[in-house]
């Protein structure tokens, strides 16, 4: 477990056991929107497993996820995804075939059925045409939308739309799965099922989950990082974070992991004053 900002602010002290893994490797990644430094020297290496990204609004989580999704090219630093360079067109295409991405703002075509919508992205992901329909059916089953497969998107509830978003992300069995706030709108039963799906995907893929729900991280993630002001200020496993919040009353929050999360932010903000 590491709480950083000591010798080099925003740089994790050690990438942990996953150093050298081919999943994701970032070196000194920086990006600014005008004067706002959204990413401020991110060093990160992550291999197979579920990696939770926590942090307050505006901490840079979504920007980091967009950089990993090859949507955003950082202004500084290097990124390697699945052992490939996204700056190279051919390699970026290879990465994208192996990528699954659920953005925070999930848009859809209202007149498509659930099946048609997921099928569209399976086609765009250049899956072999003969495998597309079975892969779509499998993805629909994995998010529990079997009874809605022929329903038009405009008829779905917010939680169901989110599950369609997850299904389009996993339809190609991605090696790198990036999920931004995936559990928003899901009911408790669906959240439990989703955590199971996350663990299943994390057994063979690199999965990044960006969330505000600390308990999701505690249950489903192997590792967790906390971001604040564009920097990774904590990296460890959920148990480390829980240990930080072992004493009630410190850091705020009902559960130990919430208190640990609050404690990290309080410590870092105190140092920065």
Q: How big is the chain by its Cα radius of gyration, in Å?
A: 19
Indicate whether 140 belongs to the interface with another protein (CB under 8 A). Answer: yes
C-alpha triplet 213, 179, 197: angle, nearest 5°: 80
Selected from 12, 50, 53, 136, the binder of another protein by CB under 8 A is 136
Selected from 19, 36, 87, 154, the binder of another protein by CB under 8 A is 87
For another protein, the closer CB: 3 or 127: 127
User: Left, alpha or beta for 181 (phi > 0: left; psi -120 to 50: alpha)?
Assistant: left
For another protein, the closer CB: 176 or 186: 176
- Burial of residue 149 (number of CB atoms within 10 Å: 0-12, 13-18, 19+): middle
The SS3 call for residue 147 is helix
Is the CB of residue 182 less than 8 Å from the CB of residue 173? no
Q: Which helix (H) or strand (E) holds 66?
A: helix 61-68
Q: What six digits make up the tokens of 39?
A: 């990413």
Specify the DSSP class assigned to residue 61. Answer: H
Closest alpha carbon to 175 in 236, 263, 98, 259 = 98
Indicate whether 92 belongs to the interface with another protein (CB under 8 A). Answer: yes
Selected from 109, 204, 246, 254, the binder of another protein by CB under 8 A is 109
Which of these segments, 3-11, 106-114, 188-196, 212-220, binds another protein (CB under 8 A)?
Answer: 106-114
Indicate whether 162 belongs to the interface with another protein (CB under 8 A). Answer: no
- Count of C-beta atoms within a 10 Å radius of residue 262: 17
For another protein, the closer CB: 5 or 70: 70
Selected from 59, 80, 82, 101, the binder of another protein by CB under 8 A is 101
Indicate whether 103 belongs to the interface with another protein (CB under 8 A). Answer: yes
Q: Give the Cα separation of 40 and 163 in Å (integer).
A: 32
Closest alpha carbon to 245 in 232, 261, 234 = 261
Which of these segments, 36-44, 119-127, 228-236, 261-269, binds another protein (CB under 8 A)?
Answer: 119-127
Which of these segments, 43-51, 84-92, 244-252, 262-270, binds another protein (CB under 8 A)?
Answer: 84-92
Indicate whether 195 belongs to the interface with another protein (CB under 8 A). Answer: no
Selected from 2, 21, 138, 239, the binder of another protein by CB under 8 A is 138
Tell me which residues touch another protein (CB under 8 A).
69-71, 73, 75, 87, 89, 92-94, 96-97, 99, 101-103, 105-109, 112-113, 115-116, 119-121, 123-126, 129, 133-134, 136-138, 140-141, 146, 149-150, 168
């Amino acid at each position: 477990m590491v709480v950083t900002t000591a010798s080099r602010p925003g740089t994790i002290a050690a990438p942990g056991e996953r150093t050298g893994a081919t999943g994701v490797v970032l070196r000194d990644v920086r990006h600014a929107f005008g004067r706002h430094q959204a990413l401020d020297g991110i060093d990160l290496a992550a291999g197979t497993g579920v990696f939770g990204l926590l942090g307050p609004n505006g901490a840079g989580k979504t920007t980091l996820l967009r950089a990993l999704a090859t949507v955003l090219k950082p202004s500084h630093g290097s990124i390697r995804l699945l052992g490939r360079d996204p700056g190279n067109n051919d390699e970026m295409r290879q990465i994208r075939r192996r990528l699954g991405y659920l953005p925070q703002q999930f848009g859809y075509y209202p007149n498509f059925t659930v099946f048609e919508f997921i099928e569209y992205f399976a086609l765009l992901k250049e899956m072999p045409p003969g495998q597309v329909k079975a892969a779509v059916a499998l993805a629909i089953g994995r998010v529990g939308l079997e009874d809605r497969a022929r329903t038009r998107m405009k008829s779905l509830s917010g939680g169901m739309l989110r599950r369609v978003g997850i299904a389009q992300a996993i339809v190609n069995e991605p090696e790198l799965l990036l999920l931004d706030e995936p559990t928003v709108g899901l009911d408790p039963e669906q959240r439990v099922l989703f955590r199971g799906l996350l663990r299943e995907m994390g057994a063979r893929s690199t999965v990044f989950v960006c969330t505000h729900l600390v308990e999701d991280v505690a249950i489903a993630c192997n590792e967790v990082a906390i971001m604040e002001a564009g920097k990774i200020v904590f990296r460890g496993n959920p148990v480390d974070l829980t240990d930080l919040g072992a004493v009630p009353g410190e850091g705020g929050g009902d559960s130990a992991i919430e208190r640990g999360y609050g404690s990290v932010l309080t410590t870092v903000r105190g140092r920065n004053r």
